[in-house]
A and B are shown apart, each in its own frame.
Chain A
Amino acid sequence: MPELQSREPLIFELSKPGRGAGTQFPPPVAGSAEIPAHLRRATPPALPEVSELQAVRHFTRLSQMNFSIDTHFYPLGSCTMKYNPKACNTFAMLPEFLGRHPLGPEPQGFLACMYELQEMLQEITGMQGVSLTPMAGAQGEFAGVAMIRAYHRARNDLGRTEIIVPQAAHGTNPATAAMCGCTVKEIPCDADGNVDIDALKAAVGPATAGIMLTNPSTLGVFERKITEVARIVHEAGGLLYYDGANLNAILGKVRPGDMGFDVIHMNLHKTFSTPHGGGGPGSGAVGVSARLRPFLPIPIVGKDGARFRWLTERDLPQSIGRLSGFMGNAGVNLRAYVYMRLLGREGMVRVAEFAALNANYLLKRLQAAGFEAAYPTRRASHEFIVTLRQESRLYQVTAMDVAKRLLDHGFHSPTTYFPLLVPECLLIEPTETEAKEDLDRFCDAMIAIRREMEQDPEKLSSAPHTMPVRRLDDVRAAKQLDLAWKPAA
């Protein structure tokens, strides 16, 4: 296992007045006297002054203090941390693509890629229209709910302001509904992880704008009664929103459009392997059924004869509008396009197949080692939940302790404490790109940790032991806020 860098000073601590990466500076010009004195800065900003090598070394060392997919197995549930093919980045960084100003004449080569990407996403999801504009999953969600609201408003059905979400939903779902000016109604799940149908029937009515669902759900199981759920919501006059967080599980196996969904957002940074980049940029393309097409966020790529062009408010006067300064995260979309062409139709189906194979294999192995599955009667989708409720009672260890101890074994931890309704849970998603040997090594680590729980639980509660830092004082971080370095007065 590669050792992580230990401490690296702040870049500001390497700074000395008068030092700089001179080859990067443009030649000096004669003054800027046009700026009136009262609009000028009195003192230069306190940016670091370092040589090029100092900067290169500093940031290279910082990179070496991270876990990443390229260096570590990252079974982070709900996040789909699969291999990010290098070709996606290389082709998206071709100089003509990088140098293109977004407001110039429409670039036909680039737009051809975007048009085909829209078509492929539409086909895969079984929808009737796609917009690539939303810049992240949360913005895709926002677009989806805003379209649902616009649809009801356009029909003069103004009382529909309630969004139903299952308890297991990701926190963005209720937050998005609130951002769209809707109120949120939460409904429970049954013991097998399905939506409680009776609760749903009781929840729908003339105020229902729609329901937001993830399928497979955040509990890692397929919602078997989805057709019934769709019928109940549609009959009540609401629309169905598909949260595409878990699309990797069903790619090529079942299409959200065929399940009855009216709108879907896709996380291209999950299913279509664009980089997570330490927390972004993502891309949250949305797909819609025919009745929501007029409301798609702009711009989208259209085709007049052989010529591609951006469709704007002129073409889609009922659009929910613009969500970004230009065309969304265009370069991320280009990476997703490259990935999809490399996979092709056969490769896409294999994504879901091998993601499911890896998840079910890992689940069985962990069960055999004594770990408790949260939904033991269910098939795992592309991910599954282990609950440590018994271990926490017997050995006073928490899911967080196991997560931290896994870091010492060279594995990024699974998602912890999500979904909130399963106690002491680990949400584990191996993805299709991990080899059996790596899954086995992970199981071995989990087995070793299990043994430690019984023999030396202190080793867990004080983990991690081999990282650049031990557990951090989050209370102090929030109470004694230190959010920026300040030059000495």
Chain B
Amino acid sequence: MAFIPHTPDDVARMLQLIGVQSIDDLFDEIPGELRAGVLGVPPAMSEMELGRLMAERAASDGRPLNFIGAGAYEHHIPAPVWAIATRGEFYSAYTPYQAEASQGTLQLIYEYQSMICALTGMEVSNASLYDGASALAEACLMAVRANRAANSRRILLPRALNPIYAQVARSIAGNQDIVFETVDFDRASGCTLLESLQPYSGQDVTALVIQQPNFFGNLEEVDRVTDWAHQNKILLIAVVNPTALALLKAPGQWGSGAAGIVLGADIVCGEGQPLGVPLASGGPYFGFMATRMQYVRQMPGRIVGRTVDTEGRPGFSLTLQAREQHIRRSKATSNICTNQGLMVTAATIYMSLLGPQGLARVAEASLRRTADLVTTLSRIAGVRPAFTAPRFHEAVLLLDRPVAPVLAALARRGIFGGLDLSDRYPELGHALLVCATETKLAADIDLYAGALADVMKSTRVAA
């Protein structure tokens, strides 16, 4: 029997001790009319049979050459990352509520929090949230609790923010009467300009969200934006890519540092997937979140602290639990109970293996590959870059014809050529978001360029 260790003799002896005739008698408190019939699900398969089915299905999905980013990035994952993360002692452990029997997980989370603080330049990090998009939703709810100067519950979302993040923030935070307003981007640079924020100067606004690099891959002028927010008593929520932070100014340092203006973002969040987590059709990933010490009690999610035991030895435990649902019930900071423990385990191992040098190399190589990709593809007639701002590892290209048929033709050649933006950004025309990380070699870029040139010859230009 699948995963059931009982022999008939065990069952007989156990039933006898309980004092019932059959296992079915144990369900005698369920009213008879509610009892289920035979379930309409398939019969059991052996591991061997199922292994075959799964291998066939996986094979049918193939191994395309991928140039899509848009919030999930293909990076090399060192072999030790998942070899260790899937050890049963990490994989099959529960939330570390019994601290003495969970020091491994707890210390690892403390190390993770330290690494996120190092990357973001912030004082405190939580133990992670579900994913980047839901982390932003939680950051918006947190900003409402933290910004005592604002009463409006108004939050500004740039149009250059990942549009799915904006959607998820609305789905999750929208039930609490938070008003989201959209701030446009500059068509030439592809960035959020100060001019588009100025109409909100002096108004009652809770928070401004800024993504660096933004959804188009462009680098925002974060210092100016941060100063503007703080001059207007608006909290700044930074959405950042952790790989990029190896090279880019840490959000904790954003701002001009001019006298009288608070330095740094107030809440930092983002998608942790680039740190050793596979693409895997979209999950599981993890969201990270960091903030200033002054807001730590407003932060959702688990937090691990270092303390001492009764003999004065250092040890780790979950702390500040008075914020959480199992204590505060309806007054909790969030209903969240879990972090993404296993993904954080992988990410912590990844960051340890890469270190500051390795992560900077990954970031530099990704930036370089994307620059090469943009240059190479732009040589094809009917393809040009959309924006002028400096970029990290993504770029928007404009085609002279609809994007969808081009992508479909590329997919037939085993190439995922990018993300069609024409639905979500009709104002850009035939826009294609592309990405190349360190995993793309020069030969891969040439292969893509060759295929695209072919496809552009054979697909028709729209009227």
Query: Is B390's CB under 8 angstroms from A481's CB?
Result: no
Contact A365-B17, Cβ < 8 Å, known A38-B223, A40-B248: yes
Give a binary string over B5-39; 1 marks a CB under 8 Å from any A CB, 0 the rest. Answer: 11000110111011110011011111100111011
**Bound CA span A20–B336, Å:** 36
Task: Report chain A residues within 8 Å CB of B44.
Answer: 341-347
Task: Report chain A residues within 8 Å CB of B176.
Answer: 179, 181
- Could you list 9 examples of A-B contacts with CB < 8 Å? A30-B368, A47-B115, A65-B103, A136-B130, A226-B31, A279-B341, A436-B13, A476-B308, A483-B296
Query: Is A484's CB under 8 angstroms from B117's CB?
Result: yes
Query: Is B358's CB under 8 angstroms from A104's CB?
Result: no
Chain A 68-111 residues near chain B, CB threshold 8 A: 68-72, 74, 76, 79, 81-85, 87, 89-105, 107-110
Chain B 305-326 residues near chain A, CB threshold 8 A: 305-311, 313, 315-317, 319-320, 322, 324-326
The size of the chain A interface, using a CB distance under 8 A, is: 200
Give a binary string over A417-431; 1 marks a CB under 8 Å from any B CB, 0 the rest. Answer: 010000000000000
Residue of A nearest to B212 (CB): A39
Query: Is A364's CB under 8 angstroms from B18's CB?
Result: yes
The smallest beta-carbon distance between A316 and chain B, in angstroms, is: 13
Contact A321-B167, Cβ < 8 Å, known A41-B247, A50-B355, A253-B30: yes
**Bound CA span A445–B348, Å:** 36
Task: Report chain B residues within 8 Å CB of A113.
Answer: 54, 57
Query: Is B50's CB under 8 angstroms from A87's CB?
Result: yes
Chain A 19-52 residues near chain B, CB threshold 8 A: 19-21, 24-32, 34-36, 38-42, 44-50, 52
**Bound CA span A194–B313, Å:** 46
Query: Is B95's CB under 8 angstroms from A279's CB?
Result: yes
Query: Is B133's CB under 8 angstroms from A101's CB?
Result: no
Query: Is B438's CB under 8 angstroms from A282's CB?
Result: no
Chain A 229-243 residues near chain B, CB threshold 8 A: none
The smallest beta-carbon distance between B77 and chain A, in angstroms, is: 9
With beta carbons under 8 angstroms apart, the residue of B13, B29, B286 that contacts A222 is: B29
Chain A 58-72 residues near chain B, CB threshold 8 A: 58-72
With beta carbons under 8 angstroms apart, the residue of B15, B336, B352 that contacts A55 is: B352
Query: Is A28's CB under 8 angstroms from B361's CB?
Result: yes
Answer yes or no: A356 CB below 8 A from chain B CBs.
yes
Query: Is A69's CB under 8 angstroms from B88's CB?
Result: yes
Task: Report chain B residues within 8 Å CB of A250.
Answer: 30
**Bound CA span A197–B438, Å:** 63
Query: Is A328's CB under 8 angstroms from B282's CB?
Result: yes
**Bound CA span A352–B376, Å:** 60
CB-CB nearest 3 A-B residue pairs: A326-B282, A70-B88, A344-B44
Q: Count chain A CB atoms within 10 A of each CB in B101, B249, B337 and give the residue with the most.
A: B101
Task: Report chain B residues within 8 Å CB of A60.
Answer: 84, 87
Residue of A nearest to B253 (CB): A42
Task: Report chain B residues within 8 Å CB of A35.
Answer: 219, 247-248, 367, 390, 392
Contact A481-B305, Cβ < 8 Å, known A26-B438, A35-B219, A325-B131: yes
Query: Is A56's CB under 8 angstroms from B43's CB?
Result: no
With beta carbons under 8 angstroms apart, the residue of A39, A67, A275 that contacts B101 is: A67
Contact A66-B357, Cβ < 8 Å, known A41-B250, A110-B281, A321-B167: no
Chain B 337-351 residues near chain A, CB threshold 8 A: 337-343, 345, 348-349, 351
Answer yes or no: B453 CB below 8 A from chain A CBs.
no
Query: Is A84's CB under 8 angstroms from B92's CB?
Result: yes
Answer yes or no: B108 CB below 8 A from chain A CBs.
yes
Query: Is B27's CB under 8 angstroms from A356's CB?
Result: yes
Chain B 67-120 residues near chain A, CB threshold 8 A: 68, 70-72, 74, 76, 78, 80, 82, 84, 86-96, 98-105, 107-108, 110-111, 113-115, 117-119
Task: Report chain B residues within 8 Å CB of A342.
Answer: 2, 44-47, 50
* Interface locus among B142-150, B198-206, B327-335: B327-335
With beta carbons under 8 angstroms apart, the residue of A68, A345, A435 that contacts B6 is: A435
Residue of B nearest to A14 (CB): B352
With beta carbons under 8 angstroms apart, the residue of B92, B164, B285 that contacts A275 is: B92
Answer yes or no: A189 CB below 8 A from chain B CBs.
no
* Interface locus among B58-66, B179-187, B228-236, B377-385: B58-66
With beta carbons under 8 angstroms apart, the residue of B53, B334, B338 that contacts A281 is: B338
Query: Is A10's CB under 8 angstroms from B111's CB?
Result: yes
Answer yes or no: A127 CB below 8 A from chain B CBs.
no
Answer yes or no: A252 CB below 8 A from chain B CBs.
yes
Query: Is B279's CB under 8 angstroms from A45's CB?
Result: no
Residue of B nearest to A340 (CB): B41
Answer yes or no: B194 CB below 8 A from chain A CBs.
no
Residue of A nearest to B111 (CB): A11
Contact A379-B26, Cβ < 8 Å, known A329-B284, A471-B100, A476-B307: yes
**Bound CA span A434–B117, Å:** 41
Answer yes or no: A120 CB below 8 A from chain B CBs.
yes
The smallest beta-carbon distance between A307 and chain B, in angstroms, is: 13
With beta carbons under 8 angstroms apart, the residue of A25, A31, A142 that contacts B358 is: A25
